[in-house]
Structure 1
Amino acid sequence: MSKSGAAKRYAIALFELAKEHNQVAKFDQELRVIQQVLAENNQLYKALEAPGISLADKHAMINTLSAGASAMITNTLKLLVERRRTNEIAAVCDEFIKLSNEERGVADALVYSARPLTEEEQTNVSHTFARKVGKQTLNIESIVDSNLLGGLKVQIGNRIFDGTLRGKLDRLQKQLTTNL
């Protein structure tokens, strides 16, 4: 996935449109769905980039991909395809989501645990760790890791909070070996 300045410019333009129409949260949700569909279907990317497929067919694919999405999002995706920037679609989605999260005081978090977390536990994790990173709330993606003995590992951006038993044991071992 490319992280070019062009992706950021398209995302900023789309974000400004969303703010202008009070639809930031709606666009955020729609772009997350589009991003997920593209991540799960690599063949769609290849088809959108294929030089042998007509622009009309590519527009039809974009219409199918963005079915139910706002016209502004559909038009932005079509514009990216027309300008041969199909490889930027995921980056535009990423950049828009970052802008949206920043605007709303939200951060995305990966939470690793030995068992699935209940809604109440996710809410508690969100409240606790959101304050630690200066945000209002967290979008939590819960990941069950059977290798964990217990506890949680929370990743927010490039910060990792390791409260797992394995992490505590490793820190204790390191502390004991450095004191000898």
Structure 2
Amino acid sequence: MSELKTLARPYAEAVFEQGREAGTIEQWSRMLEFLALAMKDEELAWAAVNPKVEKGAFERLLLDIGKGYLDREGENFVKLLVHNNRITLVDPIRDLFEQYRTEHEGYAEVQVVSAYPLAEDDRAALTAALEKKLGKKIRLDARHNLALIGGIVIQAGDKVIDGSVKGQLERLAKRLKA
């Protein structure tokens, strides 16, 4: 996964910088969201990597699908990605772009996975603690996963805090094997 982010980073940085300079960050966000959603289609994703599908034909197909969703800059970006065999990187490009966007806007995106749904007062307390710790306004994406058994996993950018029972058991098992 980190290799994909490494490959996607220059594209995400260029698109973000272009959007920042032109004042079109919101528009780029929508275009990248559209492209990421389009590439989740199994047949389109298959065509993107199939060597029997001509690049020009695939590019025209994607641009036709994007009519009304992509402006001229977005169409040029699609052409660049298809030409460089990087259209499959749209999802990580979008993720990095959104990360740059939230940083630019003074926010931090934080994903929280807990064993059970968080109560509203717990969400508020966690958000306040994270705002104090990170020095930014927080956009909290809270989900739950019963497989964690108990506890919580917090991810803010590259930082991960695993306070789940499952994570603790996995770390204990590794120490016992050593």
- Give me the TM-score of the superposition, normalised by structure 2: 0.68
Unaligned runs of at least 5 residues, structure 2:
173-178
Secondary structure of the residue that 1:2 maps to in structure 2? helix
Q: Which amino acid aligns with 1:135?
A: K
Where has structure 1 moved over 6 Å in runs of 4 or more? none
Q: Deviations along 1:83-125, whole A, 9 cap, x unmatched?
A: 3333433343233223223212223322112333466754553
Please tell me whether the aligned partners of residues 109 and 157 of structure 1 are also in contact (alpha carbons under 8 angstroms). yes
Q: Deviations along 1:115-153, whole A, 9 cap, x unmatched?
A: 33466754553343133223222241x221224555533
Alpha-carbon offset, residue 163 of structure 1: 5.3
Matching residue within 2, 5, 9 for 2:4:
2
Please tell me whether the aligned partners of residues 115 and 146 of structure 1 are also in contact (alpha carbons under 8 angstroms). yes
Secondary structure of the residue that 2:4 maps to in structure 1? coil
Closer, same or farther: CA 24–120 of 1 in aligned 2, 3 Å: farther
Unaligned runs of at least 5 residues, structure 1:
175-180
Please tell me whether the aligned partners of residues 154 and 161 of structure 1 are also in contact (alpha carbons under 8 angstroms). yes
Q: Which amino acid aligns with 2:154?
A: V
- In the other structure, the counterpart of 1:107 is 108
Q: Which amino acid aligns with 1:83?
A: N
- In the other structure, the counterpart of 1:58 is 59
Alpha-carbon offset, residue 76 of structure 1: 0.5
Alpha-carbon offset, residue 81 of structure 1: 0.5
How many residue pairs get aligned? The number is 167
CA distance in 1, matches of 2:109, 2:116: 20
- Give me the TM-score of the superposition, normalised by structure 1: 0.67
Matches within 5 A, 1:95-174: 95-117=96-118, 122=123, 124-140=125-141, 142-148=142-148, 151-162=151-162, 166=165
- In the other structure, the counterpart of 1:178 is none
Closer, same or farther: CA 61–121 of 1 in aligned 2, 3 Å: farther
Please tell me whether the aligned partners of residues 2 and 91 of structure 1 are also in contact (alpha carbons under 8 angstroms). yes
Q: Which amino acid aligns with 2:53?
A: I
